[in-house]
Structure 1
Amino acid sequence: MEQILIVVGAAILGLLGAVHLFYTFFGHRLDPYEPAAIEAMKGSTLRLTRETTVWKAWIGFNASHSLGALFVAAIYITLALWHMDLIRGSLWFSLLPLVLSLCYLGLARAYWFRIPFTGILISTLCFGAAAVMLHL
């Protein structure tokens, strides 16, 4: 059962990451409503460096955020399906997805909206239940 919970939890994170990556590069769902905000982002650099604009950083942050979720999903689906013994035998590998999903859950609660929060909550519950089963 813990194997199924890990796969489901990871698949939810992967789906959220894939949808977010798609929205980053296709369509306008992640764009500000105000065209002036987009133009301001495109015309403004960061204090850190003048080598990029706020707009390019926005696209890059969204893409890298998506890739992180996809990476976690790819690793944990693979581990759960073909190397479950590694997860069972390692406190690190058994608790890491729970810790990561709790971090994402905190971010979703503080900064995002209902859909990613709900998906991440379900993912976190799957990882948490799996961790309890693995360590009882």
Structure 2
Amino acid sequence: MRTVPSILIAASALVILTLGVLHLVFTYRGTKFHPRDPSLLERLKEVSPVISRETTMWRASIGFRASHSFGAMLFGLVYGYLALESSGFLFKSPFLMTLGLVCLCAYLVLGKLYWFKVPFRGIFLATALYASALVATWA
């Protein structure tokens, strides 16, 4: 039988996993991450960053978005698995429990500073679910 904290962390992980999967899909399908100005897209495809002429700003942005998606998906899969794993390993590890909260809080800050309201709200929900599990576990 699953405990309330394990269900809350699994739900939190599912939110982050879903955001990561959608982010990856939007990176490779459609135009959701394209600039509204078509001429800017053309420039991004031509201009290299200072660090290397081996890529363009556009190709680098695709790689950044994909790796960002993989990070969110990894968090969702690992913490979802650990939350539902029968030995309770996650809940016996203050390090892993704290690390998960720190990671979600870091995403939350990034979401507030740099992203738009849909991912911010999703990350806020995931963080609230996770924090609720911590309260239920440690109370």
Q: TM-score range by the shorter chain?
A: over 0.9
Structure 2 letter corresponding to 1:35: P
What do residues 16-53 of structure 1 show as CA deviations (whole Å, max 9, x unaligned)?
Answer: 00001000000000110111111111110011111111
SS state at 1:98 partner: helix
Tell me how far apart the structure 2 counterparts of residues 47 and 132 of structure 1 sit (CA, whole Å): 46
* Runs of at least 5 residues in structure 1 that lack an aligned partner in the other structure: none
Residue correspondences, number? 136
Match of 1:72 among 68, 72, 75: 75
Write the distance in 2 (CA, Å) between the matches of 1:72 and 1:88.
16
2:30 corresponds to which of 5, 10, 27: 27
User: Is this contact kept in 2: 1:11–1:73, CA < 8 A?
Assistant: yes
The percent of aligned pairs where both chains have the same amino acid is 37
Indicate whether 1:38 and 2:41 are aligned.
yes
- For the pair 1:47 / 2:50, whether they are aligned, the reply is yes
> What residue is the counterpart of 2:19 in the other structure?
16
- Aligned residue type for 1:9: S
Q: CA deviation at 1:84?
A: 5.3
TM-score, structure 1 normalization: 0.96
TM-score by length of 2: 0.94
Q: CA RMSD in A?
A: 1.0
Residue 117 (structure 1) aligned with residue 116 (structure 2):
no
The alpha-carbon deviation at position 83 of structure 1 amounts to 4.5
